[in-house]
A and B are shown apart, each in its own frame.
Chain A
Amino acid sequence: MIKPWEQNPELEVQHLTMRFGGLTAIGDLSFNVGKKQITALIGPNGAGKTTVFNCITGFYKPTEGMIKLNHEGGKEFLLERMDDFRITRFAKVARTFQNIRLFSGMTLLENLMVAQHNSLMKSSGWTIGALLGTGGYKRAENEAIETCKYWLNKVGLIDRADDPAGDLSYGAQRRLEIARAMCTGPRLLCLDEPAAGLNPRESEELNKLLLSVRDDHNMAILLIEHDMSVVMGISDHIIVLDYGRKIADGTPVQIKADPAVIRAYLGVEDEDDDADGKAAAAVIDEAISHKPVPMETLLAAIETPTVPPKKMATKTPVKPAPKAVAKKTAAPKKGGRK
């Protein structure tokens, strides 16, 4: 299997470890994000996905490890050593937040103008030039407005350009946040659960938007998402985290077939539940390759007293399509592990 993210990646994360006091939120995590690819970071709640984002974008300083961003032309940035705003400004990494962070008292257009702050500052002669009326600030401002218009069009919010961001619906706020991140002119876009709270139609639109960002703007996208229709539908590469460790890394097809992933999503807690895990893997295996489940495996799982009956219920259906397994099994764990 070819793994395009192995060669010449946009972002290399190596041995990343993040500890909060005694809690190891991320443990020795290594992965690559390929150029012009959509990479999804998935895992149960509390797996450490947002923490990975915060390390990449400089909001947290990792305890150990290296995060290297490669620009074209061989320019390298060691993100773990840079301030958060410098990462956006110079390394060109933009992000959105799990809990939306818009400037809600400012209009949509203003939100996107703020995102172009650095280039506008320069063309305003660090304010002094524009105050004295010299230089082409007016022209630069008009260009910035054109950029805003382009992205507002792209996310379908152009008609609401002059409304305050706080007045938008939830889905529209998510799209505006993506547009705002794009206005910083990034190379790598990090999206933290962009489909959370969206209805199926909005998810579909989000897929189109992200594909267009990847293909028309040659961007790499790193995506945290629970919505499997988004993850499986558009990603080129999936990394699965559980308890801050990587448990799987591959293409969507590989991930769907990975027993460890299903186990994590079924909520197998630790090694004591080994039997349970084996049963889960066997069920998946059966679903994919039509191998019958050995009776003793199932019995072992049933006899483990820690297994609640509800868990068994999710495991019993025979022959679901692999995609359906992923979806169904993802559902009960949402929010359950926090």
Chain B
Amino acid sequence: MSAPVKSSSGGSDAQVLDSAAITKDLIGTFVITALILVPVVAIRTQLDQGVLTWHSRFTLAAVLAAIVVGVRWAMHVFVWNRRAANALKPAVAGAVKVKGPSLADKIGPYVSRGLLIFGLVLPILAYFNITPWGDKRTLDLAIYILTYIMLGWGLNVVVGLAGLLDLGYVAFYAVGAYAYALLSTVYFPIWFGSGIVPYAFYITLPLAGLLAALWGVILGFPVLRLRGDYLAIVTLAFGEMIRLVLINWFSFTQGPQGINVPKATFFGLPFKDGPGSFAEFFHITYDRIHFYIFLYYVILAMALITYFVTKRLRRLPIGRAWEALREDEIACRSLGINTTNTKLTAFAIGAMFGGFAGSFFAARQGFVSPESFVYIESALILAIVVLGGLGSQIGIVFSATAIMGSFEVFREMNWLKAVLPAGTEPIQFRMLAVGLAMVLMMRFRPRGFVTKREPTVFLKEKKAVSGDLVAEGHG
């Protein structure tokens, strides 16, 4: 049913949205969705002690219908519209000055600002309980998503910019987490006395980053001569090696038991009830939400630092060299660029942000064990970067939210039990759904959410580069 509308927007005037046609299409979409949803979702039959009863769930049906219509509207505005405009381009190239920017381009700059403001006020919303799912749970999910956004931004340097396929990124996350765990529980108390422990997070955070970067260099040095598939395999093996060492080096890491570590404190003030705590210091009544809000702002700050540093790096010579490396390594060498060093810096900087995130993870969880650093984590972070598209940082925000958020949504979708085999929970199907989503994405939007590359420097006018021209890198 999408065909007629697509062709009409690809007609004489592709850039101006044909609101009448879109409205018609959306009404049609709503009617069809309603027809499907009413029997399947809205009206629920139940076999209750031999009696067939039914109850209605119209709110849920309405929400689903609204989502369907909303997504279709978004597709009209952002996707089909632009694709139609692109299809039209060769015909008007040169002769006609291309008309004003599309809606997506126009709102682009506001999206990141809007996201930032939303990110800053979310804990306040949560505090006053204006969020779905209750305050702590929302914040916990937000912290979870932000961690993955930060990891995505870190890995983006390696995969998105330098074009090196790294399947073992979680190793650096593990290095960061264990650096915090071991330093704060074992070494700091020995070196500096136990008084240091409440402050350990702030001291180990930079150390964790440095250690991870060091490991990035140690791994990168022999590996970066390899290309493509070989690099992917070696990084994958490295990720597994770190995990196996963590499991088997019992005397150092306590193996699969894991390590209990002190949770993060507010510059030394622990979040607990009683004297010497955060609540007492600020004369407020103790509430666990304080800890969540604190963690949220910590990870938000760390993620923003990652964002701004990598954004700045991209505009510096090193960042341009990364992207040039992704485009053509031989040409880079012919221009006098030491490609080994350039790859190493990309690896080290990506690893460093992974280390920071790992140390935060440990301080939030209060516990680390090798189980948290399995291969699937690397794959998820990679999926986030690839889905984000073309080394785009904003794309990663969307893909991380979509993937990590969908996991949480699966917990809520108990109505799915109606269609799932007996005795299974919707949450068990989350990876399947993510895989399916990836397949669909690769089919319809192979370069990810963001399909344009933003130039790092311009003379007169900043023109986004179409994704078709941008190389993906080859390891």
Which A residues form the contact surface with B (CB < 8 A)? 57, 59, 84-86, 88-89, 94-95, 97, 101-107, 109-110, 113-118, 120-121, 124, 127, 130-131, 137, 141, 145, 149, 161-167, 180-181, 184
Report the minimum CB–CB distance from B192 to chain A (whole Å): 29
Other A-B contacts than A104-B471, A117-B324, 4 sampled, CB-CB below 8 A, are: A103-B331, A105-B471, A113-B457, A114-B321
CA distance A103 to B96 in the complex (A): 28
Which A residues are in CB contact (< 8 Å) with B335?
A: 85, 88, 94, 114-115, 117, 180-181, 184
Q: Is the CB of B459 within 8 A of A103?
A: no
User: Which 9 pairs from chain A and chain B are nearest by CB?
Assistant: A105-B470, A88-B336, A89-B336, A166-B469, A103-B327, A120-B317, A101-B331, A161-B459, A114-B324
**A97 adjacent to B331 (CB under 8 Å):** yes
Asked if B465 is at the interface of the complex by the 8 Å CB criterion, the answer is: yes
Q: How large is the interface on B (under 10, 10 to 19, 20 to 34, 35 or more residues)?
A: 35 or more
> Is there a chain A Cβ closer than 8 Å to B281's Cβ?
no
Flag whether B313 is at the interface (Cβ < 8 A): yes
Contacts of A162 in B (CB 8 A): 455, 458-463
Task: Tell whether A106 pairs with B312 under 8 Å between CB atoms, given A121-B317, A162-B463.
Answer: no
Q: Does B417 have its Cβ within 8 Å of any Cβ on chain A?
A: no
Q: Which residues of A contact B465 (CB under 8 A)?
A: 105-107, 164
B327 A106 Cβ-Cβ under 8 A = yes
Q: Which of B320, B453, B466 contacts A114 (CB 8 A)?
A: B320
Residues of A within 8 A of B470 (CB): 104-105
Q: Are A57 and B334 in contact, with the CB atoms below 8 A?
A: yes
A124, B345: Cα distance in complex, Å: 15
Q: Which among A95, A104, A116 is the interface contact of B327 at CB below 8 angstroms?
A: A104
Contact between chains at B334 and A113 (CB < 8 Å): no
A124 touches B331 (CB 8 A): no
Judging by beta carbons under 8 Å apart, are B456 and A110 in contact? yes
A149–B459 touching, CB < 8 Å: yes
Cβ B459 vs Cβ A109 within 8 A: yes
- Taken together as a complex, chains A and B put the C-alpha atoms of A97 and B320 apart, in Å, by 21
Closest to A123 in B: B317
Cα of A101 to Cα of B459 in the assembled complex, Å: 23
Specify which of A94, A95, A104 lies most central, judged by the most chain B CB atoms within 10 Å of its CB.
A104
A163 to B465, CA, bound (A): 8
Q: Residue B320 contacts which of A110, A167, A181 (CB distance < 8 angstroms)?
A: A110
Within the complex, the shortest CB–CB distance from A134 to chain B, in Å, comes to 13
**Distance between Cα atoms of A141 and B317 in the complex (Å):** 9
Looking across the interface, which residue of chain A has its beta carbon closest to that of B331? A101
Residues of B within 8 A of A59 (CB): 330, 333-334
Q: Which residues of A contact B336 (CB under 8 A)?
A: 85-86, 88-89, 117-118, 184
B318 interface hit (Cβ, 8 Å): yes
In the complex the two chains form, is B309's CB within 8 Å of A103's CB?
no
Once the chains are docked, how many angstroms separate the CA of A141 from the CA of B313? 14
Do the beta carbons of B459 and A145 come within 8 Å of each other? Answer: yes
Residues of A contacting B332 in the complex (Cβ-Cβ under 8 angstroms): 85, 114
Are A117 and B331 neighbours in the complex by a CB distance under 8 Å? no
Q: How far is the CA of A104 from the CA of B459 in the complex (A)?
A: 18
Assess whether A85 is in contact with B337, with CB atoms less than 8 Å apart: yes
Looking at the complex, which one of A114, A161, A165, A181 makes contact with B337 (CB distance below 8 Å)? A114
Instruction: Return chain B residues, CB-CB under 8 Å to A121.
Output: 317-318
Task: Say whether B277 faces chain A, with CB atoms less than 8 Å apart.
Answer: no
Assuming A103-B324, A103-B328, A164-B465, is B333 touching A85 (CB within 8 A)? Answer: yes
Complex alpha-carbon distance, A161 and B455, angstroms:
11
- In the assembled complex, how far is the CB of residue B467 from the closest CB belonging to chain A, in whole angstroms? 8
Report if B185 contacts A (CB, 8 A).
no
Interface flag for B138 (CB, 8 Å): no
* B135 contacts chain A at the CB level, 8 A cutoff: no
Bound complex: CA A202 to CA B470 (Å): 27
* B463 with A84: CB separation less than 8 A: no
Q: Is B323 among interface residues, defined by CB-CB distance under 8 A?
A: yes
Least Cβ distance of A181 to chain B in Å? Answer: 8
CA A84 to CA B329, docked complex, whole Å: 12
B75 at the interface (CB under 8 A from A): no
Distance in angstroms between the alpha carbons of A162 and B456 in the assembled complex: 10
Please give, as numbers and ranges, the residues of chain A lying within 8 Å of B7 by CB-CB distance. Answer: none
**Smallest Cβ distance from B340 to chain A, in angstroms?**
9
Within 8 Å CB of B317, what residues of A? 113, 116-117, 120-121, 124, 127
In the complex, what distance in Å separates the CA atom of A143 from the CA atom of B327? 25
- Give chain B interface residues in 418-468, CB to chain A under 8 Å: 453, 455-463, 465-466
The residue on A at minimum CB distance from B349 is: A127
Alpha-carbon distance between A184 and B337 when the two chains are bound, in angstroms:
10
For B331, the chain A residues whose CB sits under 8 A away are 97, 101-103
Q: Smallest Cβ distance from A247 to chain B, in angstroms?
A: 29
A204 to B472, CA, bound (A): 36
In the assembled complex, the CB of A140 is this many whole angstroms from the nearest CB of chain B, namely 9
Chain B, 307-326, contact with A by CB distance < 8 Å: what is the 0/1 string? 00100110011101101100
Q: Find out whether the CB atom of A131 lies under 8 angstroms from the CB atom of B324.
A: no
B327 engages A105 (CB within 8 Å): yes
Would A118 and B328 be within 8 Å (CB), given that A105-B453, A105-B470 are in contact?
A: no
